[in-house]
């Protein structure tokens, strides 16, 4: 009797033998391990500190207060314009004081100080000497709706003079503030002119 031979498979593999591994797996996954370790080191490692050069290059802006002051309007008033502005503003504040606070002279004096500051800052450089002159006139104009007045012109003038005498502290304080600001601006202007006209060394 003839015995039938068992044919061996011709697919290049033997039964019971696993197929060969790819080249990357045969190397032991070294590349993947290195990649994983490097990514893990990146993720879990300490953050990089900025170098001294990067910190030096980083721009530093002015303080917020300076930025707010620069954003404010900065008109330039002549001597006459500053007087009209200050007088009209004090008259409006006097009327507002009479309506809201019952003609309080203390409130009127407190409101007079910032008006003096704004007037002295907004007057142009050529008319700085007019700032301490127009401020007292504006104070008197604004007292018209605030001062107690009697009957007739004489009673109104008497009330105005009485208010000026009792509120002389606010009047002198506002005039001093306006004069100080004008003096500082004048000194700075003179220093700039002297520096500009100084011959180069």
From 140, 21, 126, 158, select the one nearest 86 (Cα to Cα): 140
Name the token pair of 154.
Answer: 């004489």
For 175-199, the pLDDT digits (tens) are: 999 999 999 999 998 888 888 777 7
What's the pLDDT score for residue 67?
Answer: 65
Is the pLDDT confidence value at 36 over 70?
no
- State the Cα–Cα distance between residues 144 and 137, nearest whole angstrom: 12
Helix orientation angle between 79-101 and 105-122, rounded to the nearest 10 degrees: 160
pLDDT, position 17: 54
The residue among 156 and 40 whose pLDDT is bigger is 156
Give the pLDDT confidence of 83-137 residue by residue, as tens digits: 999 999 999 999 999 999 988 999 999 999 999 999 999 999 888 999 999 999 9
Which has more confidence, 197 or 162?
Answer: 162
Question: Would you state the pLDDT for residue 132?
Answer: 93
Are the C-beta atoms of residues 123 and 77 closer than 8 Å to each other? yes
Identify the pLDDT of residue 2.
47
pLDDT score at 37: 45
| pLDDT higher than 70, residue 62 | no
Question: pLDDT tens-digit profile of 12-28?
Answer: 445 555 555 555 544 54
Q: What is the distance between the alpha carbons of residues 179 and 174, in angstroms, rounded to a whole number?
A: 9
What does the domain layout of the chain look like in residue ranges? 83-197
Report residue 47's pLDDT band, with 50, 70 and 90 as the boundaries.
low
Q: Which residues of 32-65 are buried (b: 16+ CB within 10 A; e: fewer)?
A: eeeeeeeeeeeeeeeeeeeeeeeeeeeeeeeeee
């Amino acid at each position: 009797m003839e015995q039938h031979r068992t044919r061996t498979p011709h697919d290049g593999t033997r039964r019971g033998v696993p197929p060969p591994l790819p080249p990357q797996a045969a190397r032991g996954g070294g590349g993947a391990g290195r990649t994983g370790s490097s990514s893990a080191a990146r993720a879990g490692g300490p953050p990089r500190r900025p170098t001294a050069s990067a910190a030096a290059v980083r721009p530093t802006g002015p303080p917020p207060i300076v930025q707010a002051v620069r954003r404010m309007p900065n008109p330039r008033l002549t001597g006459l314009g500053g007087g009209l502005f200050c007088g009209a503003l004090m008259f409006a504040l006097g009327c507002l004081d009479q309506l809201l606070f019952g003609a309080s002279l203390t409130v009127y004096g407190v409101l007079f100080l910032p008006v003096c500051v704004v007037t002295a800052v907004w007057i142009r450089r050529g008319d700085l000497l007019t700032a301490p002159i127009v401020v007292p006139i504006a104070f008197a104009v604004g007292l018209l709706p605030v001062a107690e007045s009697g009957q007739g012109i004489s009673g109104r003038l008497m009330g105005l003079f009485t208010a000026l005498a009792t509120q002389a502290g606010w009047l002198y304080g506002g005039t001093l503030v306006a004069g100080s600001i004008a003096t500082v601006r004048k000194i700075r202007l003179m220093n700039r002119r002297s520096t500009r006209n100084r011959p180069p060394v």
